[in-house]
Amino acid sequence: MRIAYPVFYEAQPESGFTVTFPDFPEAITEGDTIEQARFNAAECLSLVLDVRMEQADTIPFPLTSEEVEVVEPDAATQAALLVHLTRESEHKSLSELAHSLGSSWHSVKRLENPRHSPTIKQLERAAAVLGKRLVLSFDS
């Protein structure tokens, strides 16, 4: 699964770009250049996802299309969101996942918190319990 959300860049008459996300009305940023706008978009998306996870707000499943540009959150946010969305899609509670991992509820909750950095081994175990496998890649 790829965590990437659609993004829109609107050139401003005077200069720069305004960035919005159709899935997250509260996520708005800008940049003087398109490169800066893209960078700021990734930071903005990471922050919005972090806040929504912390507040247990709804996070839409990322739907992408080849016609629309997308932005990915930072790696820590992606890892936390992948565990969260996969657990929800498998209809498992945090308690059930903790039991399957032989761990505590608190430890499993940390897997869904972008401010805590799980090890690759912890992510691999969580993925396996959820019927998935962890795949890492470097993209340019």
Q: With beta carbons less than 8 A apart as the criterion, state whether 10 and 17 touch.
A: yes
Global confidence as pTM:
0.84
Tokens (6 digits) for 11: 């050139």
CB 58 within 8 A of CB 49: no
d(CA 76, CA 113): 8
**Which residue has better confidence, 116 or 64?**
116
What domains lie within the chain, and their CATH numbers? 5-71 (3.30.160.250), 75-129 (1.10.260.40)
- Judged against a pLDDT cut of 90, whether residue 140 lies above it is answered with no
Reference 49, options 73, 18, 25, 29; nearest CA is 73
* Residue 119 φ then ψ, to 5°: -80, 165
pLDDT reported for residue 67: 82
Percent of the chain as helix, strand, coil, to the nearest 5: 45, 15, 40
16 exposure class (CB count in 10 Å sphere: 0-12, 13-18, 19+): middle
DSSP 70: E
Q: Would you place residue 7 in the very low, low, confident or very high pLDDT band (cuts 50, 70, 90)?
A: very high
Query: What was the pLDDT predicted at 117?
Result: 85
Give the pLDDT of residue 137: 82
17 pLDDT higher than 80: yes
Report pLDDT for 62.
Answer: 81
Q: Are strands 24-31 and 8-11 parallel, antiparallel or unpaired?
A: unpaired
Confidence check: pLDDT of 50 > 80: yes
| Residue 104 pLDDT | 93
- Taking CA 52 as the corner, what is the angle to CA 118 and CA 82, rounded to the nearest 5 degrees? 40
Average pLDDT over residues 40-58: 94
Per-residue pLDDT tens digits for 60-115: 888 766 788 999 999 999 999 999 999 988 999 999 999 999 999 999 999 999 99
Q: Is residue 33 over pLDDT 80?
A: yes
